[in-house]
Structure 1
């Protein structure tokens, strides 16, 4: 290997944005290298839900349109955004989707995912796109090198779940036991994989998307270089000419003839940047993205060559909690509580014992409400999820499984009154979690009244299709409101976690990184969470992170190819190889 290597395009980061940029650039005849600082590829996307939000995709006969998509977004966006970039997303996302479908990715709308603001004008239930389960063995020797899903996407940290299986089991819907037994049988009957690894060969959710993408990446001959960290961008005569990287202490240069695409995630694991940008910084350890992965290296490298930033004050919020690892109690797992906080027989209160949000709203709105309440009262982040024995029997509470899987006797003794609190009365529970007892009892009394009436007079919980999707259909008259009255009572602390950062490098409609004078930095592009979201601080629907990440990776590759004189139809042999 020479000290300097040359490629047409260097992509920094191996998540959905980077993989899409690499695939599109390669299909247009450009040589491409993906560099990834981790020892596994797939990025945060591989450990995500893997949903892609694409308005006006026209995959099915429906009446969605460009104008309706923009009207929905315009009704919700709460701060100034780049109009041309927003419109580019709405226009280019369907094209990106058609491109990956042409490569053989089995993508289709998920008709059970409402937009996150279902009562807003032109909201729909078919804009979120999912990828079918992927057989990891198709990756051959690369199978063990893809980032593995978190325990939260598995049953008993072993059996991978797709979205419908998750809904069935998490809500104990009709046939959920049969669903679980089928998953277990599929896993244990796969003897060849069990001899290789404990990992389930069924790649679901984000792993499914990334499995399908990387099957095509490898088929196209794109090199993915792991354990290779970006140190700095090479700026020569005002243009980005490549990257300086390091691998196990060895530093070297890679020349990029036509462009560098930064696609390496946000800065949620960099406490200094959180403290600098966020209104309520929170701790890195509250993030639910891969531990210590996204530290803002590409953001920092971009700023060093004069790039501007936008929308850095917010994350893609999600409620999280932490619990010890069962096998290593000195270490903690961060687990999502995205849907648990809105289940019936529970309520969320700040440390004054007062509600502050419709608990069943989207997880990003829940986190935004935590931030707002913290700024207002100073008594949030963390807040408390309070629930009774009925909830405990039926539902998860972050990392605490329902009693059928994790009865109280199975909870390790060092978890009690540290991670999960239990008491026979609300007064005793309030004393344990240092919340005013009178305020907590008043809140619970109000919730019980709302449960009986079926109407939440404060925050309208359970009044729209999104809320109801994660409720309990057996609870009447409102599936999101159940009485809190069966002892013992429980509480877990809920942190303002995140799925990454919404802000980053300022970019234009062509995914070009902009400087402080709003001018493109030649040959520098960005996509994904190291770039500013086209939505500002809005999270419009499931897949609102991955949708723009893949779209602007696609857009960046198109612009690079056009500038290089390569913007022709995709090479026939590449498409054939991927089909």
Structure 2
């Protein structure tokens, strides 16, 4: 077959999985091209919190271990997983983190409790992230990296790192000083303001991807934007390349040693959601970049015989809709991950009943929505009910606290459509069509729990993860405040997501397998393009990006070793000493 061009490795997708695969492959001496169908690079990872869950990362000296990590995960698994693949993540995650540091990507631990703080061997040092990155270090590519959503930027303009987010969102004692400094830094950056509105400070997911892509570009890797995968090309039973299209032009690229599919999940494909999800939800409720992750790479691989796994699971995230301020007739999807668990509020289904510890992890919240919908048919959406105390202090998606957005500033067409308001719980129940007696009883119970500090129904506020997002000024339980100050409010909460947990079935070496479990030669998958090694489990902050980057790393190692004619020993994806020397030499 005649190809338009030829490289050693083609990487499809430019999120964390694809970027790490490309960086590692380049450092192992392979020529690489990244194809990205969007007009900007960075994928969903660039819009995220940028945290990677890497157990036993050893970025600081501690007593975490492989055994403790597996004890924690094993106590939580909800069904069968590929054991060798799970252990490959646990073993190779720390190797990947050390490699990134060697390659010039600075990582640091985040003190973020594992999502199941009561589980055996749970910890608060397994999540890692990058400090704020100066986007101008990307040169002309500064404007081409995918920007974070407005929900991460006050007034759609000012970039916030994790520390600033917590300070401002919880109204910490220094929050005004933090905000003023952020604004001052932005407006005194005169050279960047001449370029555009974007803040040169890249925090969170933008920090992670900015740091990685700085190294990717320094190695001469081409990132080809507006270039979508059409087909995976197979010759003599082996994947040898891809067919791509760009603005109507179709062409083939030979991949002499491997194709890595890292193009995200299928959450923006309604047909696939309807087919696989137990409660499909709508694509618009996803909190990932609009209409990007449609499963094209998944479909292209299954067309050549690839198997799939975990297709009924998503990385769930409660969301709400709010009108887009800058455009008529468009809504924005806002995450409500932490909003739903703040004190002086409660979440109920349409029967007026609670169904979850509202302060639990967002994925567990979504799973609870699904289970309640299957049981009662009265969820998705559910309702977040809160009072004036909550309204004054906390955000609810796009509804800013009344200190910033008093009720008179809320657009009139939002009332009784996006947000509901009444002078009493009874009147509010009538408005949102929830049984009055049920809602009154639920609110009365929550007020009792706020007084005692104990939630006998779901244990809200009884663990470190819940308390992390509570209000330390509220006692005796920072997650339980009374709902007793009029007016009262309610907003509908939808079953959103951060992507899909299911995708192509891949083995411990990140090789895509067919229905018999045999690897398809030359084809690899990482990130949400592949099934999660945890099955339907989200163990901690960064449980999406950590495995994504790790299996991108593993894929590049395996491709490089096969290209050198020395396949990896079964169950191992670690580069040999010679390859490590190559990496060190290239990054010196």
Instruction: Tell me whether the two structures share a fold, i.e. TM-score over 0.5.
Output: yes
Partner of 1:271: 270
Structure 1 residue 235 displacement after superposition: 1.0
Q: For residue 352 of structure 2, give the secondary structure of its aligned residue in structure 1.
A: coil
Tell whether the 8 Å contact from 1:269 to 1:292 is kept in structure 2 after alignment.
yes
Q: For residue 69 of structure 2, give the secondary structure of its aligned residue in structure 1.
A: helix
CA deviation profile, 1:506-528 (whole Å, cap 9, x unmatched): 01000000100010000000000
Partner of 2:571: none
Partner of 1:14: 14
Tell whether the 8 Å contact from 2:3 to 2:254 is kept in structure 1 after alignment.
no
Q: How does 1:410-559 map to 2 (within 5 A)?
A: 410-559=409-558
CA distance in 2, matches of 1:329, 1:371: 32
Partner of 1:209: 208
Moved over 3 A (4+): 566-579
CA distance in 1, matches of 2:180, 2:252: 52
Structure 1 residue 578 displacement after superposition: 4.5
Partner of 1:136: 135
CA distance in 1, matches of 2:73, 2:35: 34
Partner of 1:157: 156
TM-score by length of 1: 0.98
Q: How does 1:67-86 map to 2 (within 5 A)?
A: 67-86=67-86
Partner of 1:52: 52
CA distance in 2, matches of 1:413, 1:271: 32
CA deviation profile, 1:258-294 (whole Å, cap 9, x unmatched): 0000000000000000011100000000000000000
Partner of 1:362: 361
Partner of 1:32: 32
> Structure 1 residues 517 and 577, CA, compared in 2 at 3 Å: closer, same or farther?
closer
Q: How does 1:50-449 map to 2 (within 5 A)?
A: 50-111=50-111, 113-449=112-448
Gap regions ≥5 residues in structure 1:
none
Tell whether the 8 Å contact from 1:219 to 1:578 is kept in structure 2 after alignment.
no
Aligned length: 577
Partner of 2:570: none
CA distance in 2, matches of 1:241, 1:326: 47
Structure 1 residue 570 displacement after superposition: 4.7
TM-score by length of 2: 0.97
> Structure 1 residues 392 and 578, CA, compared in 2 at 3 Å: closer, same or farther?
farther
CA deviation profile, 1:326-375 (whole Å, cap 9, x unmatched): 12230010000000000000000000000000000000000000000000
CA distance in 2, matches of 1:442, 1:159: 42
CA distance in 2, matches of 1:130, 1:30: 27
Q: Which moved more, 1:401-410 or 1:204-213?
A: 401-410
Structure 1 residue 67 displacement after superposition: 0.4
CA distance in 2, matches of 1:96, 1:572: 15
Structure 1 residue 571 displacement after superposition: 7.7
Structure 1 residue 103 displacement after superposition: 1.3
Q: For residue 358 of structure 2, give the secondary structure of its aligned residue in structure 1.
A: coil
Tell whether the 8 Å contact from 1:29 to 1:571 is kept in structure 2 after alignment.
no
Q: For residue 99 of structure 1, give the secondary structure of its aligned residue in structure 2.
A: helix
Tell whether the 8 Å contact from 1:134 to 1:212 is kept in structure 2 after alignment.
yes
> Structure 1 residues 311 and 68, CA, compared in 2 at 3 Å: closer, same or farther?
same
